[in-house]
Amino acid sequence: MAPRVAVLASGRGSNLQALIDAARGGAPFEIALVVTDRADAFALERAKQSDLPARLVDRRRFAERRALEREIERVLDDADIAWVALAGFMRVLTAAFIATRPDRIVNIHPSLLPAFRGLHTHRRALETGVRITGCTVHVVRPALDDGPIIAQAAVPVLADDDETTLAARVLEREHQIYPLALGLMTSGAGVVDGEQVRLVKPVAEPPQGFIWPKLA
Amino acid sequence: MAPRVAVLASGRGSNLQALIDAARGGAPFEIALVVTDRADAFALERAKQSDLPARLVDRRRFAERRALEREIERVLDDADIAWVALAGFMRVLTAAFIATRPDRIVNIHPSLLPAFRGLHTHRRALETGVRITGCTVHVVRPALDDGPIIAQAAVPVLADDDETTLAARVLEREHQIYPLALGLMTSGAGVVDGEQVRLVKPVAEPPQGFIWPKLA
Protein backbone atom coordinates (compact mmCIF):
# COMPACT_ATOMS: atom_id res chain seq x y z
CA MET A 1 0.00 0.00 0.00
CA ALA A 2 1.29 3.44 -0.90
CA PRO A 3 2.46 5.63 2.02
CA ARG A 4 -0.30 7.88 3.29
CA VAL A 5 0.42 11.58 2.81
CA ALA A 6 -1.39 14.57 4.26
CA VAL A 7 -1.09 17.86 2.41
CA LEU A 8 -1.18 21.02 4.53
CA ALA A 9 -2.27 24.07 2.58
CA SER A 10 -3.39 27.59 3.46
CA GLY A 11 -4.21 28.91 0.02
CA ARG A 12 -5.34 27.98 -3.43
CA GLY A 13 -3.54 24.64 -3.31
CA SER A 14 -2.20 24.33 -6.83
CA ASN A 15 0.65 22.15 -5.59
CA LEU A 16 -1.93 20.10 -3.71
CA GLN A 17 -3.64 19.48 -7.03
CA ALA A 18 -0.35 18.44 -8.63
CA LEU A 19 0.20 15.92 -5.83
CA ILE A 20 -3.36 14.57 -6.09
CA ASP A 21 -3.01 14.16 -9.85
CA ALA A 22 0.37 12.44 -9.51
CA ALA A 23 -0.88 10.03 -6.85
CA ARG A 24 -3.80 9.07 -9.09
CA GLY A 25 -1.41 8.72 -12.00
CA GLY A 26 0.69 6.11 -10.24
CA ALA A 27 3.15 8.05 -8.03
CA PRO A 28 4.37 6.03 -5.03
CA PHE A 29 2.18 7.79 -2.45
CA GLU A 30 -1.46 8.30 -1.61
CA ILE A 31 -2.92 11.68 -0.76
CA ALA A 32 -5.02 10.54 2.19
CA LEU A 33 -5.93 13.86 3.79
CA VAL A 34 -5.97 17.60 3.19
CA VAL A 35 -5.56 19.89 6.18
CA THR A 36 -5.93 23.64 6.13
CA ASP A 37 -5.78 26.34 8.78
CA ARG A 38 -7.96 28.76 6.83
CA ALA A 39 -11.68 28.41 6.28
CA ASP A 40 -11.43 30.20 2.93
CA ALA A 41 -8.61 28.06 1.51
CA PHE A 42 -9.45 26.88 -2.00
CA ALA A 43 -7.56 23.72 -1.03
CA LEU A 44 -10.76 22.62 0.74
CA GLU A 45 -12.67 22.91 -2.51
CA ARG A 46 -10.01 20.92 -4.34
CA ALA A 47 -10.22 18.14 -1.76
CA LYS A 48 -13.98 18.04 -2.19
CA GLN A 49 -13.73 17.94 -5.97
CA SER A 50 -11.28 15.04 -5.69
CA ASP A 51 -13.36 13.19 -3.07
CA LEU A 52 -10.59 13.44 -0.52
CA PRO A 53 -11.08 13.86 3.22
CA ALA A 54 -10.30 17.39 4.34
CA ARG A 55 -10.03 18.94 7.77
CA LEU A 56 -10.14 22.59 8.73
CA VAL A 57 -8.08 23.39 11.82
CA ASP A 58 -9.03 27.04 11.97
CA ARG A 59 -6.17 29.28 13.00
CA ARG A 60 -8.63 31.74 14.52
CA ARG A 61 -9.59 29.17 17.16
CA PHE A 62 -6.05 28.89 18.55
CA ALA A 63 -4.25 31.67 20.41
CA GLU A 64 -1.07 29.64 20.65
CA ARG A 65 0.92 28.08 17.85
CA ARG A 66 1.49 24.83 19.72
CA ALA A 67 -2.20 24.45 20.45
CA LEU A 68 -2.98 24.65 16.73
CA GLU A 69 -0.16 22.25 15.96
CA ARG A 70 -1.35 19.76 18.56
CA GLU A 71 -4.75 19.75 16.96
CA ILE A 72 -3.18 19.10 13.57
CA GLU A 73 -1.08 16.30 15.07
CA ARG A 74 -4.25 14.70 16.41
CA VAL A 75 -5.92 14.96 13.01
CA LEU A 76 -2.88 13.41 11.30
CA ASP A 77 -2.66 10.59 13.82
CA ASP A 78 -6.37 9.84 13.53
CA ALA A 79 -5.92 9.44 9.77
CA ASP A 80 -2.81 7.28 10.13
CA ILE A 81 -0.67 9.73 8.17
CA ALA A 82 2.97 8.76 7.57
CA TRP A 83 4.15 11.75 5.53
CA VAL A 84 3.28 15.44 5.49
CA ALA A 85 3.68 17.65 2.43
CA LEU A 86 3.44 21.38 2.96
CA ALA A 87 1.91 23.20 0.02
CA GLY A 88 1.63 26.88 0.74
CA PHE A 89 1.02 26.28 4.41
CA MET A 90 1.58 29.71 5.95
CA ARG A 91 2.81 28.63 9.35
CA VAL A 92 6.35 28.08 10.57
CA LEU A 93 6.30 24.70 12.27
CA THR A 94 7.88 24.13 15.66
CA ALA A 95 10.57 21.55 16.37
CA ALA A 96 8.00 19.68 18.46
CA PHE A 97 5.65 19.28 15.50
CA ILE A 98 8.49 18.34 13.16
CA ALA A 99 9.68 15.68 15.61
CA THR A 100 6.38 13.83 15.26
CA ARG A 101 7.43 12.61 11.78
CA PRO A 102 11.22 12.77 11.63
CA ASP A 103 12.45 13.42 8.08
CA ARG A 104 8.94 12.78 6.77
CA ILE A 105 7.70 16.34 6.50
CA VAL A 106 8.57 18.02 3.21
CA ASN A 107 8.08 21.47 1.78
CA ILE A 108 8.35 23.25 -1.55
CA HIS A 109 9.90 26.68 -1.79
CA PRO A 110 9.89 28.89 -4.90
CA SER A 111 13.62 29.58 -5.12
CA LEU A 112 16.86 27.72 -5.59
CA LEU A 113 17.68 27.34 -1.91
CA PRO A 114 19.81 28.47 -0.13
CA ALA A 115 19.04 31.65 -2.09
CA PHE A 116 15.93 33.65 -1.17
CA ARG A 117 14.58 31.97 1.92
CA GLY A 118 11.36 33.43 3.27
CA LEU A 119 8.61 35.42 1.62
CA HIS A 120 8.43 37.44 -1.60
CA THR A 121 11.04 35.26 -3.30
CA HIS A 122 10.19 36.34 -6.84
CA ARG A 123 10.23 40.02 -6.01
CA ARG A 124 13.59 39.60 -4.34
CA ALA A 125 14.95 37.55 -7.24
CA LEU A 126 13.91 40.30 -9.64
CA GLU A 127 15.38 43.01 -7.43
CA THR A 128 18.63 41.09 -7.17
CA GLY A 129 18.68 40.70 -10.93
CA VAL A 130 19.39 36.96 -11.00
CA ARG A 131 19.15 35.31 -14.42
CA ILE A 132 18.29 31.90 -13.06
CA THR A 133 15.94 31.02 -10.25
CA GLY A 134 13.86 27.94 -9.58
CA CYS A 135 12.22 25.89 -6.90
CA THR A 136 13.30 23.46 -4.22
CA VAL A 137 11.66 20.56 -2.43
CA HIS A 138 13.29 19.89 0.92
CA VAL A 139 12.85 18.00 4.16
CA VAL A 140 11.56 20.39 6.81
CA ARG A 141 13.73 21.57 9.68
CA PRO A 142 12.77 24.06 12.38
CA ALA A 143 14.63 26.88 10.61
CA LEU A 144 12.56 28.60 7.92
CA ASP A 145 13.01 27.15 4.43
CA ASP A 146 15.95 25.08 5.57
CA GLY A 147 16.61 21.36 5.50
CA PRO A 148 17.99 18.58 3.32
CA ILE A 149 17.31 19.29 -0.35
CA ILE A 150 15.47 16.53 -2.20
CA ALA A 151 15.15 18.07 -5.64
CA GLN A 152 15.49 21.36 -7.47
CA ALA A 153 14.39 22.77 -10.79
CA ALA A 154 16.00 25.71 -12.56
CA VAL A 155 13.89 28.41 -14.21
CA PRO A 156 15.10 31.33 -16.33
CA VAL A 157 14.29 34.91 -15.43
CA LEU A 158 13.39 36.72 -18.62
CA ALA A 159 14.18 40.35 -19.34
CA ASP A 160 10.55 41.47 -19.27
CA ASP A 161 9.46 39.43 -16.25
CA ASP A 162 7.44 40.84 -13.40
CA GLU A 163 6.51 39.03 -10.20
CA THR A 164 3.40 37.54 -11.79
CA THR A 165 5.01 36.14 -14.93
CA LEU A 166 8.01 34.80 -13.03
CA ALA A 167 5.82 33.21 -10.36
CA ALA A 168 3.76 31.50 -13.05
CA ARG A 169 6.85 30.10 -14.79
CA VAL A 170 8.29 28.80 -11.52
CA LEU A 171 4.92 27.34 -10.51
CA GLU A 172 4.86 25.15 -13.62
CA ARG A 173 8.11 23.62 -12.41
CA GLU A 174 6.83 23.30 -8.86
CA HIS A 175 3.98 21.16 -10.14
CA GLN A 176 6.47 18.87 -11.85
CA ILE A 177 9.10 18.63 -9.17
CA TYR A 178 6.95 18.29 -6.07
CA PRO A 179 5.38 14.93 -6.99
CA LEU A 180 8.75 13.65 -8.22
CA ALA A 181 10.55 14.71 -5.06
CA LEU A 182 7.88 13.37 -2.74
CA GLY A 183 7.92 10.11 -4.67
CA LEU A 184 11.71 9.88 -4.31
CA MET A 185 11.25 9.93 -0.55
CA THR A 186 8.14 7.80 -0.09
CA SER A 187 9.57 5.11 -2.39
CA GLY A 188 12.77 4.93 -0.32
CA ALA A 189 14.93 6.05 -3.26
CA GLY A 190 15.95 9.16 -1.31
CA VAL A 191 17.16 8.92 2.27
CA VAL A 192 18.21 11.63 4.68
CA ASP A 193 21.86 11.18 5.60
CA GLY A 194 23.08 13.89 7.93
CA GLU A 195 21.75 17.09 6.44
CA GLN A 196 21.67 15.82 2.88
CA VAL A 197 19.34 13.64 0.87
CA ARG A 198 21.13 10.80 -0.87
CA LEU A 199 19.57 8.90 -3.73
CA VAL A 200 20.22 5.27 -2.91
CA LYS A 201 18.17 3.55 -5.60
CA PRO A 202 18.10 4.09 -9.33
CA VAL A 203 15.10 6.18 -10.27
CA ALA A 204 13.51 7.25 -13.51
CA GLU A 205 12.92 11.00 -13.35
CA PRO A 206 14.53 13.16 -12.15
CA PRO A 207 17.49 10.78 -12.10
CA GLN A 208 19.66 13.01 -9.94
CA GLY A 209 17.07 15.13 -8.22
CA PHE A 210 17.02 18.06 -10.61
CA ILE A 211 14.88 19.13 -13.51
CA TRP A 212 16.15 21.07 -16.47
CA PRO A 213 14.18 23.18 -18.87
CA LYS A 214 14.39 20.44 -21.48
CA LEU A 215 11.87 18.43 -19.48
CA ALA A 216 9.28 21.17 -20.01
CA MET B 1 38.14 49.53 -32.36
CA ALA B 2 37.17 46.96 -29.75
CA PRO B 3 37.22 48.12 -26.11
CA ARG B 4 40.52 47.38 -24.42
CA VAL B 5 40.25 44.89 -21.55
CA ALA B 6 42.83 43.99 -18.92
CA VAL B 7 42.51 40.61 -17.25
CA LEU B 8 43.65 40.38 -13.62
CA ALA B 9 44.58 36.85 -12.58
CA SER B 10 46.41 35.29 -9.66
CA GLY B 11 46.39 31.66 -10.71
CA ARG B 12 46.34 29.34 -13.66
CA GLY B 13 44.20 31.66 -15.71
CA SER B 14 41.89 29.28 -17.49
CA ASN B 15 39.22 31.96 -17.72
CA LEU B 16 41.89 34.31 -19.05
CA GLN B 17 42.48 31.81 -21.83
CA ALA B 18 38.76 31.64 -22.59
CA LEU B 19 38.65 35.44 -22.89
CA ILE B 20 41.75 35.52 -25.12
CA ASP B 21 40.29 32.86 -27.39
CA ALA B 22 36.94 34.63 -27.58
CA ALA B 23 38.52 38.00 -28.41
CA ARG B 24 40.50 36.40 -31.23
CA GLY B 25 37.36 34.63 -32.38
CA GLY B 26 35.49 37.89 -32.89
CA ALA B 27 34.08 38.83 -29.47
CA PRO B 28 33.48 42.58 -29.06
CA PHE B 29 36.53 43.25 -26.90
CA GLU B 30 40.30 43.10 -27.09
CA ILE B 31 42.42 41.54 -24.37
CA ALA B 32 45.08 44.24 -24.27
CA LEU B 33 46.89 43.39 -21.04
CA VAL B 34 47.31 40.68 -18.43
CA VAL B 35 48.10 41.74 -14.87
CA THR B 36 48.99 39.41 -12.05
CA ASP B 37 49.99 39.90 -8.43
CA ARG B 38 51.87 36.61 -8.21
CA ALA B 39 55.19 35.85 -9.84
CA ASP B 40 54.27 32.18 -10.19
CA ALA B 41 50.87 32.74 -11.84
CA PHE B 42 50.49 30.56 -14.92
CA ALA B 43 48.51 33.47 -16.35
CA LEU B 44 51.89 35.06 -17.17
CA GLU B 45 52.83 32.05 -19.25
CA ARG B 46 49.49 32.17 -21.06
CA ALA B 47 50.00 35.83 -21.90
CA LYS B 48 53.44 35.04 -23.29
CA GLN B 49 52.12 32.13 -25.35
CA SER B 50 49.46 34.43 -26.79
CA ASP B 51 51.88 37.31 -27.42
CA LEU B 52 50.02 39.57 -25.05
CA PRO B 53 51.61 42.22 -22.83
CA ALA B 54 51.71 41.08 -19.20
CA ARG B 55 52.64 42.91 -16.03
CA LEU B 56 53.56 41.48 -12.66
CA VAL B 57 52.59 43.74 -9.76
CA ASP B 58 54.08 41.54 -7.08
CA ARG B 59 51.98 41.42 -3.93
CA ARG B 60 55.10 40.81 -1.86
CA ARG B 61 56.36 44.29 -2.73
CA PHE B 62 53.37 46.05 -1.17
CA ALA B 63 52.62 46.10 2.53
CA GLU B 64 49.36 47.94 1.97
CA ARG B 65 46.45 46.96 -0.22
CA ARG B 66 45.97 50.47 -1.59
CA ALA B 67 49.63 50.75 -2.54
CA LEU B 68 49.33 47.59 -4.63
CA GLU B 69 46.09 48.81 -6.13
CA ARG B 70 47.58 52.17 -7.01
CA GLU B 71 50.37 50.44 -8.88
CA ILE B 72 47.81 48.37 -10.78
CA GLU B 73 45.83 51.53 -11.56
CA ARG B 74 49.00 53.10 -13.00
CA VAL B 75 49.64 50.01 -15.14
CA LEU B 76 46.05 50.03 -16.41
CA ASP B 77 46.14 53.74 -17.21
CA ASP B 78 49.46 53.41 -19.02
CA ALA B 79 47.93 50.76 -21.25
CA ASP B 80 44.76 52.77 -21.87
CA ILE B 81 42.54 50.07 -20.39
CA ALA B 82 38.77 50.69 -20.45
CA TRP B 83 37.51 47.46 -18.87
CA VAL B 84 38.87 45.11 -16.23
CA ALA B 85 37.96 41.43 -16.04
CA LEU B 86 38.89 39.58 -12.87
CA ALA B 87 39.76 35.96 -13.49
CA GLY B 88 40.76 34.27 -10.27
CA PHE B 89 42.30 37.45 -8.91
CA MET B 90 42.68 36.69 -5.22
CA ARG B 91 42.32 40.20 -3.86
CA VAL B 92 39.25 42.00 -2.62
CA LEU B 93 39.28 45.36 -4.37
CA THR B 94 38.67 48.60 -2.51
CA ALA B 95 35.95 51.08 -3.39
CA ALA B 96 38.70 53.48 -4.48
CA PHE B 97 40.02 51.04 -7.07
CA ILE B 98 36.53 50.16 -8.27
CA ALA B 99 35.71 53.86 -8.68
CA THR B 100 38.46 54.22 -11.30
CA ARG B 101 36.30 52.36 -13.84
CA PRO B 102 32.69 52.67 -12.71
CA ASP B 103 30.62 49.65 -13.78
CA ARG B 104 33.48 48.52 -16.00
CA ILE B 105 35.11 45.99 -13.70
CA VAL B 106 33.60 42.52 -13.93
CA ASN B 107 34.16 39.25 -12.12
CA ILE B 108 33.24 35.61 -12.45
CA HIS B 109 32.20 33.59 -9.42
CA PRO B 110 31.64 29.82 -9.38
CA SER B 111 28.16 29.77 -7.89
CA LEU B 112 24.68 30.98 -8.69
CA LEU B 113 24.89 34.23 -6.74
CA PRO B 114 23.53 35.27 -4.28
CA ALA B 115 24.18 31.71 -3.06
CA PHE B 116 27.68 30.79 -1.86
CA ARG B 117 29.58 34.05 -1.90
CA GLY B 118 33.24 33.77 -0.92
CA LEU B 119 35.66 30.88 -1.04
CA HIS B 120 35.21 27.10 -1.25
CA THR B 121 31.94 27.44 -3.14
CA HIS B 122 31.88 23.87 -4.47
CA ARG B 123 32.62 22.33 -1.09
CA ARG B 124 29.85 24.40 0.44
CA ALA B 125 27.44 23.53 -2.37
CA LEU B 126 28.14 19.85 -1.81
CA GLU B 127 27.77 20.19 1.97
CA THR B 128 24.47 22.02 1.51
CA GLY B 129 23.30 19.29 -0.83
CA VAL B 130 22.08 21.55 -3.61
CA ARG B 131 21.09 19.81 -6.85
CA ILE B 132 21.80 22.79 -9.04
CA THR B 133 24.70 25.19 -8.88
CA GLY B 134 26.42 27.26 -11.55
CA CYS B 135 28.43 30.37 -12.17
CA THR B 136 27.81 34.09 -12.32
CA VAL B 137 29.46 36.99 -14.11
CA HIS B 138 28.76 40.27 -12.35
CA VAL B 139 29.80 43.89 -12.19
CA VAL B 140 32.14 44.37 -9.24
CA ARG B 141 31.06 46.25 -6.13
CA PRO B 142 33.10 46.76 -2.97
CA ALA B 143 31.25 43.94 -1.17
CA LEU B 144 32.70 40.49 -1.86
CA ASP B 145 31.07 38.67 -4.79
CA ASP B 146 28.32 41.22 -4.96
CA GLY B 147 27.13 43.49 -7.74
CA PRO B 148 24.79 43.61 -10.73
CA ILE B 149 24.50 40.19 -12.37
CA ILE B 150 25.32 40.12 -16.07
CA ALA B 151 24.86 36.44 -16.81
CA GLN B 152 24.52 33.09 -15.12
CA ALA B 153 24.81 29.46 -16.13
CA ALA B 154 23.21 26.54 -14.32
CA VAL B 155 25.14 23.33 -13.68
CA PRO B 156 23.81 20.09 -12.19
CA VAL B 157 25.35 18.56 -9.09
CA LEU B 158 25.57 14.81 -9.65
CA ALA B 159 25.13 12.20 -6.96
CA ASP B 160 28.75 11.06 -7.07
CA ASP B 161 30.35 14.50 -7.34
CA ASP B 162 33.29 15.62 -5.27
CA GLU B 163 34.80 19.10 -5.22
CA THR B 164 37.09 18.28 -8.15
CA THR B 165 34.47 16.86 -10.50
CA LEU B 166 31.98 19.59 -9.67
CA ALA B 167 34.58 22.35 -10.10
CA ALA B 168 35.51 20.93 -13.51
CA ARG B 169 31.90 20.84 -14.67
CA VAL B 170 31.27 24.41 -13.52
CA LEU B 171 34.54 25.59 -15.07
CA GLU B 172 33.39 24.45 -18.51
CA ARG B 173 30.43 26.78 -18.12
CA GLU B 174 32.61 29.59 -16.83
CA HIS B 175 34.63 29.44 -20.01
CA GLN B 176 31.45 29.82 -22.05
CA ILE B 177 29.69 32.44 -20.04
CA TYR B 178 32.55 34.80 -19.23
CA PRO B 179 33.27 35.85 -22.83
CA LEU B 180 29.55 36.13 -23.55
CA ALA B 181 28.90 38.25 -20.46
CA LEU B 182 31.89 40.50 -21.03
CA GLY B 183 30.81 40.93 -24.64
CA LEU B 184 27.30 41.89 -23.54
CA MET B 185 28.80 44.76 -21.58
CA THR B 186 31.57 45.95 -23.92
CA SER B 187 29.16 45.95 -26.86
CA GLY B 188 26.69 48.12 -24.97
CA ALA B 189 23.98 45.46 -25.07
CA GLY B 190 24.01 45.28 -21.28
CA VAL B 191 23.85 48.42 -19.16
CA VAL B 192 23.94 48.88 -15.42
CA ASP B 193 20.67 50.37 -14.24
CA GLY B 194 20.58 50.79 -10.48
CA GLU B 195 21.89 47.51 -9.15
CA GLN B 196 20.78 45.45 -12.12
CA VAL B 197 22.09 44.82 -15.59
CA ARG B 198 19.48 45.40 -18.26
CA LEU B 199 19.86 44.05 -21.77
CA VAL B 200 18.95 46.96 -24.00
CA LYS B 201 19.87 45.57 -27.42
CA PRO B 202 18.96 42.27 -29.01
CA VAL B 203 21.87 39.87 -28.74
CA ALA B 204 22.58 36.44 -30.10
CA GLU B 205 23.75 34.24 -27.22
CA PRO B 206 22.89 34.13 -24.42
CA PRO B 207 19.74 35.98 -25.44
CA GLN B 208 18.62 36.73 -21.91
CA GLY B 209 21.88 36.44 -20.02
CA PHE B 210 21.66 32.81 -19.01
CA ILE B 211 23.04 29.56 -20.32
CA TRP B 212 21.29 26.24 -20.00
CA PRO B 213 22.75 22.79 -20.20
CA LYS B 214 21.44 22.43 -23.76
CA LEU B 215 24.13 24.81 -24.98
CA ALA B 216 26.82 22.36 -23.84
Same domain for A188 and A95, yes or no, is no
Q: What is the mean pLDDT of residues B186-205?
A: 88
pLDDT at B31 over 80: yes
Same domain for A113 and A60, yes or no, is no
Report the residue from B114, B127, B149 with minimal CB separation from A131: B149
* pLDDT class of B207 with cuts at 50, 70, 90: low
The angle formed by the CA atoms of residues B129, B132 and B133, to the nearest 5 degrees, is 95
Q: What is the mean pLDDT of residues A9-30?
A: 96
Contact A208 B113 (CB under 8 A): no
Residues of B in contact with A197 (CB under 8 A): 129
* A120 in catalytic set: no
pLDDT at B92 over 90: no
pLDDT at A200 over 50: yes
Q: Which residue of A has its CA nearest to B152?
A: A131
* pLDDT class of B194 with cuts at 50, 70, 90: confident
Bridge partners, residue A5, by sequence: A31, A83
Those of residues 15-54 in B touching chain A at CB distance below 8 A are none
- Burial group, residue B185, by CB count within 10 angstroms (0-12, 13-18, 19+): buried
Please identify, among A79, A101, A123, the residue that sits at the C-terminal boundary of a domain.
A101
Same domain for A214 and A113, yes or no, is yes
Please identify, among A101, A134, A166, the residue that sits at the C-terminal boundary of a domain.
A101
pLDDT at A207: 66
Bridge partners, residue A134, by sequence: A154
* pLDDT class of A38 with cuts at 50, 70, 90: very high
pLDDT at A202 over 80: no
Q: What is the DSSP string of B112-131?
A: -TTSS-SS-HHHHHHHHT-S
**Considering chain B, what is the average pLDDT of its residues?**
93
pLDDT at A177 over 80: yes
pLDDT tens digits, B116-153: 999 999 999 999 999 999 999 999 999 888 999 999 99
Helix (H, G, I), strand (E, B) or coil at A43: helix
Residues of A in contact with B208 (CB under 8 A): 131, 156-159
pLDDT at B159: 85
**Assessment of whether the complete model's pTM goes beyond 0.90:** yes
Residues of A in contact with B154 (CB under 8 A): 132, 154, 212
pLDDT at B166 over 80: yes
Q: Which domain holds residue A127?
A: 107-216
Residue B114's closest CA among A145, A137, A133? A133
Q: Which residue of A has its CA nearest to B210?
A: A131
Rounded Cα distance between B99 and B93, Å, is 10
CATH number of the domain enclosing A73: 3.40.50.170
User: Catalytic positions of B, please?
Assistant: 109
pLDDT at A178 over 70: yes
Those of residues 118-137 in A touching chain B at CB distance below 8 A are 127-132, 134
Contact B210 A131 (CB under 8 A): yes
Same domain for A116 and A81, yes or no, is no
Same domain for A176 and A93, yes or no, is no
* pLDDT class of B155 with cuts at 50, 70, 90: very high
Rounded Cα distance between B135 and A200, Å, is 28
Contact A210 B157 (CB under 8 A): yes
**Helices B14-24 and B42-49, interaxial angle, to 10°?**
20
Same domain for B134 and B210, yes or no, is yes
Judge whether B154 and B210 are in contact, CB under 8 Å: yes
* pLDDT class of B209 with cuts at 50, 70, 90: confident
Those of residues 156-215 in B touching chain A at CB distance below 8 A are 156-159, 195-199, 208-210, 212-214
Residues of A in contact with B114 (CB under 8 A): 115-116, 128, 130
Please identify, among A101, A127, A146, the residue that sits at the C-terminal boundary of a domain.
A101
pLDDT tens digits, A71-117: 999 999 999 999 999 999 988 899 999 999 999 999 999 999 999 99
Instruction: Give exposure, B53-75, as e/b (b: 16+ Cβ within 10 Å).
Output: ebbbbeeeebeeeeebbbbbbeb
Q: What is the count of residue pairs from A and B with beta carbons less than 8 Å apart? A: 90
Q: What is the mean pLDDT of residues A30-56?
A: 97
Cβ contacts of B52-55, under 8 Å, gap ≥ 24: B52/B20, B53/B79
Contact A129 B149 (CB under 8 A): yes
Q: What is the ipTM of this complex?
A: 0.89
